[in-house]
Amino acid sequence: MTTTMSRNDPVRNEMLVLETNFVTDINSRRVLQSIITDAFASGQFCINVQSGFATHPQARFTIEEVTIALPTGTKLLRVNEAEPYVEVVCEGPGWMMSLVIWRYRVTYTVLCNHHDTATALVDHLRVMLEVTETPEPTTCFGSWTNSDEFADRQVVDRVEWVNIRENYPLAIRPQLDAVAALEKKDVPNGSIFLWTGEPGSGKTWAIRSLMTSWEPWCQVDVICDGSDFLASAAYQTRVIRSSHSKQIRLIVLEDCDALIVKQENRSQQLSSLLNLSDGLVAQNNPIAFLLTSNLSVQRIDPAVLRPGRCLAEIYFGKFSAEEVVQRRPELLHAARAMSLAELYNLDSSTPKITTQNLETRFGFHQ
């Protein structure tokens, strides 16, 4: 479908007239990429500049907003608008460009014959799209399913470790301190972080604080269907190749009991995880894995815990009776070991709805 759009350029206050070919099939990304590849391969342009920059973490750009950001007189060749990204191939006097806006990140490929042309074009894009105000206190992570071509970027409030540290038993605070303080150089490619413990012990909040602590050098991707991920080489490749950033990719697999449990015959999914963690893929890609499980360590395949593969194994246990009394002195004579969820439930104003104590009777009664 071809249409003509007219938009006001906020910088020059002029009319921007564009002939647009819209492409909505997500697989058409290859078509858009081939336009740039063919133009460069044919010798039409001799300079290829590729890079990117951050935009606002909560930005959701529409095609209309993207066209406003382009220089006056730009001609759109193709547009692919498919949540969660907008991709544009466009051209102007002496240049052609592919522009991808993927939630909070702008990446571009500029073809031209003079470096000054590329510099001026990128400077214009930065003025129009780059973050200029102080970012809100949020952080981002990618959420993946097997049907996704790209991750769905999720924005959550930042959780500073120092602010939640006291929500964990004294016994594990030093270990979590050490993990939060790690730097990129401390995390070899393929490292596994294993966090175990009963439900309600605070593992998810600890992950959120880790996103904040490691944000300068780590990109977090949460896999929603871990079994499918470890069973599909194509799925794994799509996730690993989805970013060309030099940041470490922390791939999070939550509640993966069935994937790492010790069995007489090791599952194909576990074999795949072990291969990803220290095979050739890990050696050539900056990836690490964070696994959470409700299993005891004794029930987990020893290969997952092997020294050199498992960088940190932390058990999220309950608060001791003494710690419970320190937090809730009124429980002095009835104290017992309690999980974080149980302690917070004591402060809940909403009573639990249950049928546990209801008497079962047949017939109708008044």
Map out the domains of the chain as residue ranges.
2-129, 138-316
Q: What is the DSSP letter of 194?
A: E
Tell me which residue has tokens 């500029």: 110
What local confidence, expressed as pLDDT, does residue 252 receive?
97
Sign of the torsion formed by the C-alpha atoms of 36, 40, 44 and 49: positive
pLDDT for 354 = 65
Instruction: Identify the helix (H) or strand (E) that includes residue 205.
Output: helix 203-213
Q: Mean pLDDT over residues 150-172, rounded? A: 89
In the predicted model, is pLDDT for residue 326 greater than 50?
Answer: yes
Beta bridge partners of 144: 223
How high does pLDDT run on average in the chain? 83
The CA-CA-CA angle for residues 52, 145, 58, to 5°, reads: 40
How far does the chain reach from its first CA to its final CA, in angstroms? 69
Distance between CA atoms of 82 and 25, rounded to whole angstroms? 8
On the question of pLDDT at 16 being above 60, the answer is no
User: Taking residues 8-21, what's their average pLDDT?
Assistant: 38
Task: Identify the band that residue 92 occupies on the pLDDT scale cut at 50, 70 and 90.
Answer: very high
Among 88-102, 125-139, 154-168, 326-340, the range scoring the smallest mean pLDDT is 125-139
pLDDT at 132: 57
Assess whether pLDDT exceeds 80 at residue 142: yes
Q: Which residues pair with 155 in a beta bridge?
A: 140
pLDDT of residue 189: 92
Would you place residue 164 in the very low, low, confident or very high pLDDT band (cuts 50, 70, 90)? very high
Q: Which has the closest alpha carbon to 23: 102, 81, 84?
A: 81
CATH 3.10.450 for the 2-129 domain, yes or no: no
Strand partners, 79: 22, 88
Q: Is the pLDDT of residue 184 over 80?
A: yes
Residue 351 has pLDDT above 90, yes or no: no
- Band (273; pLDDT cuts 50, 70, 90): very high
pTM of the model: 0.67
The string of pLDDT tens digits covering residues 60-85 is 677 777 888 899 889 999 888 766 67
- Say if residue 25's pLDDT is above 70: no
CATH of domain 138-316: 3.40.50.300
Give the number of C-alpha atoms closer than 13 A to the C-alpha of residue 315, restricted to the C-beta side: 10
Answer yes or no: is pLDDT of 363 > 50. no
